[in-house]
Amino acid sequence: MKRVVLACKPQDARAQALAEELAHWLAARGCEVRRWPERREDTALADWAELAVVLGGDGTLLHVARAFVDKKAPVLGVNLGRLGFLTDAPAGSVKDTLSEVLAGRFKLKTHFALVVEAEDTQGVRPLGHVLNDLALQRGAHPRMIGFELFARDQFVFRLRGDGLIISTPAGSTAYALSAGGPIIHPEVDAIGIVPICPHTLSNRPIVLPATMEIMLAFVEGEEAALHLDGQFQVRLRPGARVRVKKGDSVRLVHLPGRHYFDVLRTKLGWAGERRCG
């Protein structure tokens, strides 16, 4: 890996300083280093790269990784944020981590994205990829919204409430988990459906095969907001439809000693010590 892209959390002095230090360190080892633009996605740069290194939290990684969906270059997340489910490489030992990666001593985990499009009176609008989740929520009006859910053209339910979250396995430990959704292991090819404060308490989270195409129809309320990975927002009016299907994947770098359940215990603060084995 000789072509490396460095991406930083915008306006973060610590991330910027570390990126500058790593740029010199990588250049001394024969790598060509380019910086990722802060405010936009650069697919040409993603095509050029052989490795992307993201310095920040999960939000920064999601912003950058969307451009690396269906690209050859893997993405290494260095945690400068808080929980860091996706950016789990510690900042204090980032050079040791990069030495292992440049030497080829790492493993790759693929995380599929969801392809989202909205359809209304203005036509069909492609909204791109999401790696964590999309959330249909009530807009500025405080009243509940009503919507209908379809999976593979089959009617699932009509729900009134604050909204609904559709998550990938990677996103199941984010907003969906806070709303009471299940944790989906990243090796499970599935999509989580999590109601947000449903008016009918029997509406519970469900898990669907990732091969099912999902459609949400906004049928009741003055306005709704569609949030993509918690970073982009699209306003919807009654009658709008949102279509979601499984897309291509992004590849994330992890070191061989990293295990998913270790991450869950550490990040979620699960208690208990191992006593057998």
| Tokens at 125, concatenated | 């609008």
Lowest mean pLDDT among 27-41, 72-86, 116-130, 237-251: 72-86
Class of residue 121 by CB neighbours under 10 A (exposed 0-12, middle 13-18, buried 19+): exposed
Q: Which residue has the tokens 């669907």?
A: 208
The single-letter DSSP state of residue 30 is T
pLDDT tens profile 47-83:
999 999 999 999 999 999 999 999 999 999 998 877 7
Per-residue model confidence (pLDDT) at position 65: 95
Strand pairing category for 75-79 and 107-120: unpaired
Please answer whether residues 134 and 165 qualify as being in contact, where contact means their C-beta atoms are separated by less than 8 angstroms. Answer: yes
pLDDT tens profile 188-215:
999 999 999 999 888 999 999 999 999 9
**CATH 3.40.50.10330 domain locations along the chain:** 3-106+255-268
Report the alpha-carbon distance of residue 169 to residue 116 in Å, rounded: 16
Percent of the chain with pLDDT over 70: 99
- The alpha carbon dihedral of 112, 128, 3, 93 has a sign of negative
Per-residue model confidence (pLDDT) at position 262: 86
**CATH 2.60.200.30 domain locations along the chain:** 114-247
Q: Which residue has the tokens 């990975």?
A: 229
Active-site residue, 70 included: no
What is the domain class of 114-247 according to CATH? mainly beta
Strand pairing category for 75-79 and 89-90: parallel
Q: What is the CATH number of domain 3-106+255-268?
A: 3.40.50.10330
Average pLDDT over every residue of 89-115: 92
Q: Residues near 131 by Cβ (< 8 Å), separated by ≥ 6? A: 62, 65, 66, 69, 111, 113, 114, 168, 170, 171, 229, 250
Class of residue 211 by CB neighbours under 10 A (exposed 0-12, middle 13-18, buried 19+): exposed
Candidates 47, 58, 88, 120; catalytic one: 58
Report the alpha-carbon distance of residue 13 to residue 18 in Å, rounded: 9
- Is residue 89 scored above 90 in pLDDT? no
Strand pairing category for 75-79 and 51-56: parallel
Phi-psi region of 180 (alpha: psi -120 to 50; beta: other; left: phi over 0): left
pLDDT tens profile 15-59:
999 999 999 999 999 999 999 998 788 899 999 999 999 999 999
